[in-house]
């Protein structure tokens, strides 16, 4: 098993075609076919099956593709770290942002790193906290924002921000920032909610229990964008952090009010693995992400947020 075989395996899986993979790898098609066949013979399994939609990994192939992709990523990182320009911090860093924070943080983070540390290649992934934590545990992320997480034997969790959750409704509902809405009133409406099992949903379910309110969940989705679209279309209300709906409220496409009875807060942390050394490039990205968050809170761009140490 060698690097050429692993690159061929991953590329064929990504594009679904040996011909296209050969073009991307700057090889002839028989060479790619031979690399896949040799790998299959060495492993004693079939890695791909041909379908009308192209080459699709088998169950064994899917496992190998995932492992090969991670191995290639680690080798890319190692190469970048051991061949730096003099005095420069270099490396590949894969960072996770909560979907609700991406619009606020992604662009300034990328811009700051491009200016201050051009040798750092940043790869951003967004998602719900549950997805991001799984990707961090699996080694697909070097660092990520999560919420309501304490440090564990495998993860360091640095508290950064506490922010309040808001009731979100169509503009006609007339919700306002200066008029908090009791949770029981929100629960009585049809609700568009994140799926069970995610940290945000667990936080909302906990608030429902404290309020003694049964929620009328009409739709569940794992997409923040879809949540907001469905609310705008009149399918129900939802509960979201203020940072995820600030622009929508400013543009008049949604209305929102802080929750009360009880108030609901989430604590955002920066999570990193405990195991192994932290490469300089990861330290640089973590530091810049913390700085961007502190500046956003300080200038009031993060609604109803306060530094974690402020209580």
- Name the H helices within 26-143: 29-43, 59-82, 102-116, 129-137
Regarding whether 203 and 147 lie in a shared domain, the answer is: no
Regarding whether 194 and 128 lie in a shared domain, the answer is: no
Is 255 in contact with 246 (CB distance < 8 Å)?
Answer: no
Is 247 in contact with 103 (CB distance < 8 Å)?
Answer: yes
Average pLDDT score over residue span 35-63: 89
Average pLDDT, the chain: 89
Regarding whether 107 and 146 lie in a shared domain, the answer is: yes
Regarding whether 12 and 62 lie in a shared domain, the answer is: yes
Regarding whether 32 and 69 lie in a shared domain, the answer is: yes
Taking the mean position of all CA atoms in its chain, how far away is CA 73? 18
pLDDT at 222: 84
DSSP codes of every residue in 4-27? HHHHHHHHHHHHS-HHHHHHHHT-
Cα of first residue to Cα of last residue in the chain, in angstroms, is 54
Regarding whether 252 and 190 lie in a shared domain, the answer is: yes
Is 268 in contact with 200 (CB distance < 8 Å)?
Answer: no
Regarding whether 239 and 277 lie in a shared domain, the answer is: no
Is 274 in contact with 153 (CB distance < 8 Å)?
Answer: yes
Regarding whether 110 and 152 lie in a shared domain, the answer is: yes
Domain boundary among 82, 117, 142: 82
* pLDDT single digits (tens) 149-193: 877 788 889 999 999 999 999 999 999 999 999 999 999 999 999
Task: Residue 50: give its domain's CATH number.
Answer: 1.10.10.10
The residues, ordered by sequence, that sit 6+ positions from 241 with a Cβ below 8 Å of its Cβ are 100, 163, 164, 165, 166, 266
Regarding whether 260 and 187 lie in a shared domain, the answer is: yes
What total number of domains does the chain contain? 3
Element (H, E) at 241: strand 238-241
Regarding whether 169 and 262 lie in a shared domain, the answer is: yes
- Per-residue pLDDT at 86 exceeds 60: no
Q: How far apart are CA 162 and CA 307, in angstroms?
A: 6
- Per-residue pLDDT at 303 exceeds 90: no
* pLDDT single digits (tens) 52-71: 888 899 999 999 999 898 88
pLDDT at 84: 56
Helices 18-25, 29-43: crossing angle, 10 deg rounding: 110
Q: What is the pTM of this model?
A: 0.70
- Per-residue pLDDT at 259 exceeds 90: yes
Task: Residue 242: give its domain's CATH number.
Answer: 3.40.190.10
Q: In which band, very low, low, confident or very high, does the pLDDT at 310 lie, cut at 50, 70 and 90?
A: low
Domain boundary among 25, 48, 82: 82
Average pLDDT score over residue span 89-102: 91
DSSP state of 244: G
Q: How far apart are CA 196 and CA 208, in angstroms?
A: 14
DSSP state of 195: P
Which residues on adjacent β-strands are paired with residue 216?
Answer: 190
Structural domain for 193, as ranges: 163-266
Domain boundary among 82, 108, 123: 82
pLDDT at 207: 92
Is 48 in contact with 61 (CB distance < 8 Å)?
Answer: yes
Regarding whether 101 and 122 lie in a shared domain, the answer is: yes
Is 302 in contact with 192 (CB distance < 8 Å)?
Answer: no
Q: How far apart are CA 141 and CA 123, in angstroms?
A: 9
- Per-residue pLDDT at 17 exceeds 70: yes
Regarding whether 58 and 137 lie in a shared domain, the answer is: no
């Amino acid at each position: 098993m060698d690097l050429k075989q692993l690159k061929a395996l991953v590329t064929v899986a990504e594009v679904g075609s040996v011909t296209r993979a050969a073009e991307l790898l700057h090889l002839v098609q028989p060479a790619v076919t031979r690399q896949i066949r040799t790998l299959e013979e060495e492993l004693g399994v079939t890695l791909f099956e041909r379908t009308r939609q192209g080459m699709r990994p088998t169950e064994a192939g899917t496992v190998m593709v995932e492992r090969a992709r991670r191995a290639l990523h680690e080798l890319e990182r190692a190469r970048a770290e051991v061949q730096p320009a003099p005095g420069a911090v270099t490396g590949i860093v894969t960072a996770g942002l909560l979907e609700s924070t991406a619009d606020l943080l992604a662009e300034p983070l990328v811009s700051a790193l491009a200016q201050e540390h051009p040798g750092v290649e940043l790869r951003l992934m967004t998602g719900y906290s549950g997805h991001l934590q799984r990707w961090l545990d699996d080694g697909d992320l070097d660092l990520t924002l999560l919420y309501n997480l304490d440090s564990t034997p495998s993860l360091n969790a640095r508290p950064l921000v506490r922010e309040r959750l808001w009731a979100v409704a169509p503009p006609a509902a007339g919700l306002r920032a200066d008029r908090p809405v009791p949770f029981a009133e929100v629960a009585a409406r049809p609700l568009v909610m994140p799926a069970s099992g995610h940290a945000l949903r667990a936080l909302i379910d906990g608030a429902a229990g404290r309020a003694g309110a049964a929620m009328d969940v009409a739709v569940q989705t794992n997409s923040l964008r879809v949540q907001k679209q469905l609310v705008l279309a009149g399918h129900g209300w939802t509960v979201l952090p203020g940072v995820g709906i600030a622009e929508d409220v400013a543009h008049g496409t949604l209305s929102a009010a802080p929750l009360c009875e009880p108030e609901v807060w989430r604590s955002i942390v920066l999570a990193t693995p405990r195991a192994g050394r932290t490469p300089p490039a990861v330290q640089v990205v973590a530091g810049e992400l913390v700085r961007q968050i502190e500046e956003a809170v300080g200038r009031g761009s993060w609604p109803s947020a306060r530094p974690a140490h402020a209580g």
